[in-house]
Amino acid sequence: MGHAEIPLRPASASKSRSLKGDIRIPGDKSISHRSFMFGGLANGETRITGLLEGEDVINTGKAMQAMGASIRKEGDAWVINGVGNGCLLAPEKPLDFGNAGTGCRLTMGLVGPYDFDTTFVGDASLSRRPMGRVLDPLRLMGVQVRSEDGDRLPVTLHGPLAPAPISYRVPMASAQVKSAVLLAGLNVPGVTTVIEPVMTRDHTEKMLAGFGAQLEVETGADGVRTIRLEGRGTLTAQIIDVPGDPSSTAFPLVAALLVPDSDVTIRNVLMNETRTGLILTLQEMGANIEIIDPRQAGGEDVADLRVRSSELTGVNVPADRAPSMIDEYPVLAVAASFAEGETVMTGLDELRVKESDRLSAVARGLEINGVDCTEGDDWLSVRGRPDGKGLGARSEKAVVKTWLDHRIAMSFLVMGLASEHPVHVDDSAIIATSFPEFMDMMTGLGARIDIGSARG
């Protein structure tokens, strides 16, 4: 059952006394998707520990199974026997990616060049999101595309008999587009080139190299990256331990900063520089975040974070930082609501095409909870109230609309933990797409969050 059919599960968060504890955040969503995909494609048996068992990632696993990979769970490990590069099977039914842009767009690249039909479907949120950004480069490789108006789902792809490699300059800052082109290149003879003017998360490049793909990355003096991948090579199974997701970490982290007398340690957090923009920004705002035991694990930087309540001050968040914190703006806007002075966030155009139009969803949610903010076409400014006085819902009717967007739901629940009045969200069921443990983990730290019954 997709989220379109699941009844909404409203929830409310109320002012909490203090958050205390030591937690381990579930695995990174980006790395988990790619672990299932590359393991499903490689020769041999890939073992994954720490995989995020959220709905988004599970849907990617089901898609890989539908295309021939064998996936099973043994104790804590996921064990995958891959089909071999170039050997995916035609799925018998449409692949349903639920709410997941990453699963859907990367798999379009992975299977698009194959000479058979593959149909992609998703929930109401995913069906509203633009797919042209991935379909355009696939068309250049010779892939036939059948889609609804405006390149929305459902989409059916059929690869050509002789796919051609392309050189593609990614027109927007998007790791999903970069990755889809590279994954398509895996099954195309010759060298596929991706030019990335603005660096985005680099998990695809790193992990493909780890699986043995012939891939090189060159960074120009101007920061422009050129990634070249030799197609039709062999991928070899790997052992993967997925580090904790910095995007999920953002919620208990901001909550601990905002709720007075809090002291929370978060273990095993991925600290890849393409993902740490939020931590940097919060530190600039005066956040007390201690980075403990920074280390390498499985080719990635990880660390433990000790977070204590802090008085925050508004800052300007530069546009060029957006790719390294793209999923964290909703919760940053919540942090800014409790900061002294104004926070201005720029370069936010990509927020309009996430699970919801996050710029507008955040601005509406802040407004109904008494926050003074301004929404621009690609920017947001927030004027905070350090004591949280007057913030929160003044009536039962002031319910944040979450639009099937997990990050909107979690961000506003965090807001309610430090506001004078409770904060209500119209749905919390969607949180299971990326962070099924969110409620238990937060309430375990002392957060007052109640799940209500469906409102009429």
Ligand X SMILES: O=C(O)C1=C[C@@H](OP(=O)(O)O)[C@@H](O)[C@H](O)C1
The residues of the shown chain that bind ligand PEP, judged by CB under 6 A, are 100-102, 327, 354-355, 407, 434
Closest to ligand X by CB, 183 or 393:
183
Q: What is the DSSP string of 123-187?
A: -HHHHHS--HHHHHHHHHTT-EEEEEGGGEEEEEEE--SS----EEE-SSS-HHHHHHHHHHHTT
Residues numbered 334 to 393 that lie near ligand X (CB under 6 A) are 350
DSSP 437: T
CB 351 within 8 A of CB 336: no
From ligand X, ligand PEP, none, which one binds at residue 201 (CB under 5 to 8 Å depending on kind)?
A: ligand X
Q: Which of 362, 330, 357 is nearest to 254 (CA)?
A: 330
> Which burial class, exposed, middle or buried, applies to 49 when counting CB atoms under 10 A from its CB (0-12, 13-18, 19+)?
middle
Closest to ligand PEP by CB, 205 or 245:
245
Radius of gyration of the chain (CA): 21
Q: Which of 218, 216, 266, 210 is nearest to 241 (CA)?
A: 210
* 257 C-beta neighbours (distance < 10 Å), count: 27
Q: How far apart are CA 255 and CA 11, in angstroms?
A: 16
Pairing between β-strand 300-308 and β-strand 288-297 as defined by DSSP bridges? antiparallel
From ligand X, ligand PEP, none, which one binds at residue 100 (CB under 5 to 8 Å depending on kind)?
A: ligand PEP
Among 51, 126, 302, 326, binds ligand X (CB under 6 A): 326
From ligand X, ligand PEP, none, which one binds at residue 300 (CB under 5 to 8 Å depending on kind)?
A: none
Residues 6+ apart with CB under 8 A from 362: 329, 330, 333, 351, 380, 408, 411
Least separation in angstroms between residue 175's CB and ligand X is 4
Catalytic option among 327, 405, 426, 427: 327
From ligand PEP, ligand X, none, which one binds at residue 265 (CB under 5 to 8 Å depending on kind)?
A: none
What are 403's two structure tokens?
A: 């639009």
151 a catalytic residue: no
User: Is 123 annotated to bind ligand?
Assistant: no
Q: What mask, x for binding ligand X by CB under 6 A, covers residues 162 to 201?
A: ------------xxx--x---------------------x
Least separation in angstroms between residue 201's CB and ligand X is 6
What are 176's two structure tokens?
A: 């999903």
Beta bridge partners of 13: 423, 449
User: Is 129 annotated to bind ligand?
Assistant: yes
Among 12, 30, 60, 249, binds ligand X (CB under 6 A): 30
Least separation in angstroms between residue 64's CB and ligand X is 16
Least separation in angstroms between residue 197's CB and ligand PEP is 20
From ligand X, ligand PEP, none, which one binds at residue 355 (CB under 5 to 8 Å depending on kind)?
A: ligand PEP
Least separation in angstroms between residue 344's CB and ligand X is 21
User: Is 397 annotated to bind ligand?
Assistant: no
Question: Residues comprising the binding site?
Answer: 29-30, 34, 101, 129, 174, 176, 327, 354, 358, 407
Question: Residues comprising the binding site for 3-phosphoshikimate?
Answer: 29-30, 34, 174, 176, 327, 354
Residues making contact with ligand X (CB under 6 A): 30, 101-102, 174-176, 179, 201, 326-327, 350
Which positions are catalytic?
327
